[in-house]
Amino acid sequence: MVGFGLLILLQVYLMVRYLTQMNRDLTHFFSAIKFQNSGLVFTNSDRSGPFTELYHYLNSVNNMINRVKKENARHNIYLKNVVDHVGIGLISFNEDMEIDLFNKAAQKLLHTSRLDNISSLDNVYQGFSDAIKNLNPGKPRLIKIEVHKNVLQLSLNLNVFKAEGKTINLVTLHNIVNELERNELESWQKLIRVLTHEIMNSISPITSLSTTIARYFKDPDDARPVSIEKIDNEKIKKTLKGLNTIEKTGKNLIDFVTKYRSLSALPLPELKRFPVSSLFNRVILLMNQRVQSEKIEIVTDIRPASLVLLADENQIEQVLLNLVKNSIEALQKKENGKIILKSYVNLDERVIIEIIDNGTGIPTENISDIFIPFYSTKDDGSGIGLSLSRQIMNLHKGTITMISVPGEGTSFSLIF
């Protein structure tokens, strides 16, 4: 019995020893994980016995953690290089306005190598920090700043996301001066080409008719007027006809200039809140007679039905009337013609108004020119409707976009 009792005591001692050792090893293991110590390894010679398999799995877990750490380190190096070599400036900051990321493109753009807080952007340009703080996610903003006597047109865009419970604000900075200058030059070239075409179409017949009429009353051998006896009723009739043509052409040219002046002198919008439904109802009422005569169906889709828009109601109504008129013309001589007036709020919380038709569409070669002032594919078109609509949307700090498929239809979107 004494020997049996001693054996039991020995077994208890050995068990307590093993459990104490295992507890100590597990404590070391989890402590190593907590403090990211990758040097802990359990050898089979040191940890033999009934828990050999446990130590084997602990080593496996440790090796796996080390592989994940190395992989994360490689990813971090890769992402850091990508961020530093991307051509767009990136600045990220936390809820306390402390800057966590300031890539090389942003450093080069702003001519500074270090920023600790968003407020320090005011050292680059006064008021720059307020422009960053007042950004809304998904709503790009253009600002003009001067850095080292260089004028920058910066396009700012904010993206907000959460990581590990923390809010991260990521701002992109893109200098669009070159793009603006190139687009402005292209726009001027296109506008001058259209203006030249229109003016030459008016001036050429006036010049030609003036020369013809002058021949009726001038001696062909010299510059002296012909005698009164040589002026018959036929010459008088031709002269009056030519003068009528000159008068009509001159009036058309004056009308053209008047339209140009109206296009370049739009008043600033008077912003008020109003229901989109009332806007749609007025447009339908004004276009109802023409829609019925062309046997075109016009429907509305507003979600939610109580949707409200902040804009100049009269100016937006003018835009919608012009777009609906274009849709009606695209639906002429087409069966089952349909126009949809649609409005909703997109994921960026911006109000969208769409004018959709199933008409003939716009030829692909004309799509890039439809917003150019005085450009028109119609014989009786003035060519200012769409350019006027775009200018109105610009004054509302919104945009107008178009998607058209020849033979299937066209969709215009007003984005507020």
- Got the DSSP string for 288-332? HHHHHHTT-EEEEEESSTT-EEEE-HHHHHHHHHHHHHHHHHHTT
> Residue 78 pairs with which residues in a beta bridge?
none
| Domains parsed from the chain with CATH numbers | 2-82 (no CATH), 87-175 (3.30.450.20), 180-263 (no CATH), 272-415 (3.30.565.10)
pTM of the model: 0.48
Residue type at 255?
Answer: D
Question: What burial letters (b/e) apply to 30-55, b meaning 16+ CB within 10 Å?
Answer: eebeeeeeeeeebeeeebeeebeeeb
Question: How many CB atoms neighbour CB 219 within 10 A?
Answer: 12
DSSP annotation of 383: S
Measured torsion, CA atoms of residues 62, 68, 69, 71, in degrees rounded to the nearest 10: 150
Per-residue tens of pLDDT for the chain, all 416 residues? 888 878 888 777 777 776 776 677 677 666 666 666 666 666 654 555 556 666 676 677 777 777 777 777 777 777 777 777 777 888 888 888 888 888 888 888 888 888 888 888 888 888 888 888 888 887 888 888 888 777 788 888 888 888 777 888 888 888 876 665 565 556 666 666 666 666 666 676 677 777 777 777 776 666 677 777 777 788 788 888 878 877 777 777 776 666 656 655 677 888 999 999 999 998 888 888 888 888 899 999 999 999 999 999 988 998 898 899 889 988 887 788 899 999 999 888 899 999 999 988 888 777 766 776 555 555 555 556 787 788 888 889 888 988 888 888 999 999 99
**C-alpha–C-alpha distance, residues 395 and 336, integer Å:** 36
> Residue 331 pairs with which residues in a beta bridge?
none
Angle at 209 between CA 206 and CA 212, to 5 degrees: 150
Give the tokens for residue 109.
Answer: 């753009």
Residue type at 76?
Answer: N
